[in-house]
Amino acid sequence: MAVPEKPSRKTGLAHFAAAAGYSLAGLRRLAQESAFRQEVALILGLLVLLLLFGASLPEIAGLLAIGLVLVAVEALNTALEEVIDHLSPGWSQFAKNAKDLGSLAVACVIGALLVYAGVVVIW
């Protein structure tokens, strides 16, 4: 079986375009995860709530910034799960620990998002 040849490195605008393509491919992969779709629904729901409570533009920007951090952490958690599933197709304690830690990271950002939205709504 032939080993595929490593693609040449891109520079300049070609590098930027390739990176954008990789990011879009990552977003398509992440969209397959129900947790990601639920988190997007949460972000949108909180956005509507803040708008109904008359949040300022900086407050809405803060919510969206934390929402982007949540998406980033979910993407990293999904990547971690992909690697763990490859390394340990069966059950193992290290796989469980790694997945639990990834889940904790996502939960922490969700908590931060909820605290932020709560503070904006209450104040």
Catalytic residue numbers read: 74
Q: Is the dihedral of CA 36, 42, 66, 112 positive or negative?
A: negative
- Phi, psi angles (nearest 5°) of residue 75: -65, -45
- Angstrom CA distances, 24 to 11, 31, 71, 116, 117, stand at 19, 10, 13, 28, 28
The three-class DSSP label of residue 10 is: coil
Residue 8, Ramachandran bin (φ over 0: left; ψ between -120 and 50: alpha; else beta): beta
52 alpha-carbon distance from chain centroid: 26
